[in-house]
Structure 1
Amino acid sequence: MAKQILPTYSICSIADTPVTKNDFMTDRFSHYLEAHKDLHFPHKHSFYHLVFFTEGSGSHSIDFINFPVEPGQIYFMTPGQVHEWDFRKNPEGYIINFSENYISTLVMNARYLDQFVFFSGNAAEQVINIPKQERPQLVQLLESILREEAAGADLKDDMIRTVMIQLFIHVNRLAAPAEKIPVANYNSVLLKNFQKLIDLHYREKKLTRDYAAMLFVTPNHLNALSKHVTGKPAGELIRDRVILEAKRLLVNADMSIAEVATDLEFEDNSYFSKFFKKYTGQTPESFRKSILDK
């Protein structure tokens, strides 16, 4: 097949360009699909993205994890994640694309979205099946957002932002009931900071001790905390992030395996290939082929 570059789409224009001044768009999902028949798959977004399905079937994937499409399902994506869908029955629902700045303009906390479980960047937490009795409230909120965008009234964006926050809080309560939400304490804050540091430094820092030093704790403490809360040792969280980025880069057919290895700061192509196969069961070449030949 011909080489292609994994496209990264921006808001509104849905083109292979960086984010523009347009920070928000919303639409009915069927109209969005009709207007953007030329979307390439797989692709990445440079914005936050959510879809609520009211009809349809098929499948979609977030960062190479597959999910069935079902009525009543809502999914969320953060910037940079790789997305793909394959519909068997024409879907209907709602779509919202927005930048982080769009929300932070209203709230003082620049990291406001971090508190919602579905904006964790972990695909397994980003797809939520909404109980039937709760769906009318979501539809009501999404219809309100569509009306505000179409009307263009004074303070339209502030009204949309407040309704979106209501939507996020409502879905977050359904995804993580109050009795299951851990009280914010030193350990939970420490783990959150560890995960943020991984996102910032996974290329050049691949050892638990590196992150423990930045967090002013011992490697044993960080490892025990990670295993207690996530079920995975600290080193595995670091490794999972490296593997995820490797997969994202491998989908870009214009990057050689050696270039991917260099980007992720491995010593050489051979070591990277052994690392990737050890933890995925596939060579980088076979993984790339499995995705791009779909």
Structure 2
Amino acid sequence: MIPIYNISDFPSFQAIDDQFMLERFESLQRPPKLQWPHKHSFYEIMWLTSGTSVNVIDYHQVTVEPDMLFFISPGQLHLMNHAQSVKGFSLTFTESFLLINATNKNALKEFAFLDNSYASPFFKLDSEAIAELSPILELMMNEVIRKEKSPLIIANLLFVYLNRIQRLINQQSTGDTDPNNVVRYKLLKKLIEDNFKTQNSIAFYADKLNLTSHRVNEICKAVTGKAVGVVIRDRVLLEAKRLLVHSEQAIGQIGDELGFRDFSYFSRQFKRQEGLTPAEYRKTMHGKYQSSY
């Protein structure tokens, strides 16, 4: 069973209920028996200012270096190991906190880099980006260390901080940054998350979004470079990996749970994507994700 942690599991004077926390990474108080890997119920943006670590998000491994932002979204499998002299900041928040005083309830969905960290979990900062983001982070830190914190001030600063990050990413991106398309893609991703085990039809998702299948495919390709069918397949594959590594279920049961019509078909499809059969993948990866910080 993979544990799911809340913000309140990391006690801090610089937290606001179970909604927000900004801490120096080296001062972060972790649960006494923190388990790796685990999942979060919140968003986290790590900014390492010195040191290195190896972070794994849903089986994408990244060596995190100084002045790199690293993004983790709710529900993603997170493993951190090989940490060396790590210093920096850990910023965690929930959707409800960000939207405390937002008139646009799709505000969070417009940040394309959030909920997309399975594909792009980090962003390297240059000197100009550091100069742009540092003052906002400092303002947030100054507010959270006050005895009487203002959630409204912090939420507004967080909103500015996320917008600046998105703008910096957009400047380097070749993908579609139209907020309307990003919002629609986020809605599509949520639908896929809720239905991928039973629905692989593009028409099903198009109907839920009140769009044509062609238009949904256009939006998906514009934002991610991938067709809808590939996004659905990737989500099923991710779940197969999670279950193979972190459950005791028989491979046939996993195939059944994910909607494959028979064991051999599941095995062939998995090998086509990963280059290993499910059994080979389980054997190869089982020990790798049992590390700790």
Sort the TM-score into its range (normalised by shorter chain). Answer: 0.7 to 0.9
- Assess, with a 3 A threshold, how the Cα gap between structure 1 residues 259 and 12 changes in structure 2: closer, same or farther: farther
CA distance in 1, matches of 2:230, 2:167: 29
Residue 257 of structure 1 corresponds to which residue in structure 2? Answer: 251
2:145 corresponds to 1:150: yes
- Assess, with a 3 A threshold, how the Cα gap between structure 1 residues 228 and 103 changes in structure 2: closer, same or farther: closer
- Structure 1 vs Structure 2: percent identity of aligned residues? 31
1:63 shift after superposition: 1.4
Asked if the contact 1:72/1:132 (under 8 Å) is kept, the reply is no
1:86 shift after superposition: 2.0
- Normalised to the residue count of structure 2, the TM-score between the two structures is 0.82
**Any gaps of 5 or more consecutive residues in structure 2?**
289-293
CA distance in 2, matches of 1:70, 1:206: 38
Asked if the contact 1:117/1:175 (under 8 Å) is kept, the reply is no
1:265 shift after superposition: 3.4
Residue 195 of structure 2 corresponds to which residue in structure 1? Answer: 201
Aligned with residue 118 of structure 1, among 113, 138, 161:
113
Aligned with residue 22 of structure 2, among 26, 33, 42:
26
Asked if the contact 2:50/2:86 (under 8 Å) is kept, the reply is yes
Equivalent residues, number:
283
**How big is each residue's C-alpha offset from its partner over 1:146-167, in whole Å with a ceiling of 9 and x where there is no partner?**
332221325x111111111111
**Any gaps of 5 or more consecutive residues in structure 1?**
none
Aligned with residue 173 of structure 1, among 162, 167, 173:
167
1:70 shift after superposition: 1.0
CA distance in 1, matches of 2:173, 2:86: 34
Aligned with residue 9 of structure 1, among 5, 13, 20:
5
Residue 54 of structure 1 corresponds to which residue in structure 2? Answer: 49
Secondary structure in structure 2 of the residue aligned to 1:42: coil
CA distance in 2, matches of 1:98, 1:146: 14
Aligned with residue 273 of structure 1, among 264, 267, 276:
267
- Normalised to the residue count of structure 1, the TM-score between the two structures is 0.82
Residue 279 of structure 2 corresponds to which residue in structure 1? Answer: 285
Amino acid of the structure 2 residue aligned with 1:169: N
CA distance in 1, matches of 2:155, 2:186: 26
1:256 shift after superposition: 4.0
Q: How does 1:44-193 map to 2 (within 5 A)?
A: 44-153=39-148, 156-177=150-171, 182-183=177-178, 191=185, 193=187
Asked if the contact 1:60/1:86 (under 8 Å) is kept, the reply is yes
Please tell me the root mean square deviation across aligned C-alpha atoms, in Å: 3.0
- Assess, with a 3 A threshold, how the Cα gap between structure 1 residues 43 and 285 changes in structure 2: closer, same or farther: farther
Amino acid of the structure 2 residue aligned with 1:60: N
Amino acid of the structure 1 residue aligned with 2:2: L
**How big is each residue's C-alpha offset from its partner over 1:172-201, in whole Å with a ceiling of 9 and x where there is no partner?**
11111299654456x776655443432232
